[in-house]
Amino acid sequence: MKKSSLYKGCLEPIIMRLLKDNGRMYGYQITQMVKELTKGELNITEGALYPLLHKLEEQEIVETETEMIGNRMRKYYTLTKAGKKHTSIAIDALKTFMQSLEFIVNPKTSLG
């Protein structure tokens, strides 16, 4: 089974969490930070990242700003006020989901 299909639905809370912790981030930085934090286990492709960021922008969960880095223009994503609230809800939902998975994957240990 492809690893990416396992974590596809979890990308949204992951990105939101990173933005909450780091303030503002740009696309490439997000992909690299996820790779670094998961020691290369999780690799967000550009084809998945940007459409997701655009969706979050559409839902007004994130907003964008641009900054000149030398002669280059860089676009940063930041959580909006509503996005910050939404992040906590999304993280809680992810935790519950992980717990539920634990019940299935390790039924004995999770039942204690």
Partner 1 sequence: MITEEQYESLFAFCRKHYVQYYDVQVELADHLFSAIEVCIKENPKLSFEQARDKIYSGFGIKGFSDIVASREKMMGKKCSQQKWKMFLSYFTIPKIAMTLCIYASLLLAGRFLKEVNQRAILLLVVGVGLIIFEIIYSIQTSKIFKKQQKVLLYTSGRLYDILYSGLLMQLLFTSSILNKLTITIISSLNFSLIAFLFLLVFISILAHPQFTKELYSSACKLYPKAFAS
Q: Is 8 in the site for partner 1 (CB under 8 A)?
A: no
In the list 10, 17, 20, 26, the residue contacting partner 1 (rule: CB under 8 A) is 26
| 74 near partner 1, rule: CB under 8 A | yes
The number of beta carbons lying within 10 Å of the beta carbon of residue 15 is 25
What is the C-alpha separation between 78 and 39, in angstroms, rounded? 24
- 66 Cβ partners below 8 Å, 6+ apart? 73, 74, 75, 76
Contacting residue, 21, 36, 41, 46, with partner 1 by CB under 8 A? 46
- In the bound state with partner 1, the residue whose beta carbon lies nearer, of 58 and 105, is 58
Three-class SS state of 74: strand
Count, residues in the chain: 112
Of 41, 65, 92, 102, the residue at the interface with partner 1 (CB under 8 A) is 65
- DSSP single-letter state for residue 12: H
Quick one: which of 47, 81, 104, 105 contacts partner 1 (CB under 8 A)? Answer: 47
Query: Which residues of this chain interact with partner 1, rule CB under 8 A?
Result: 26-29, 32, 45-47, 50-51, 54-55, 57-58, 64-66, 69, 71-75
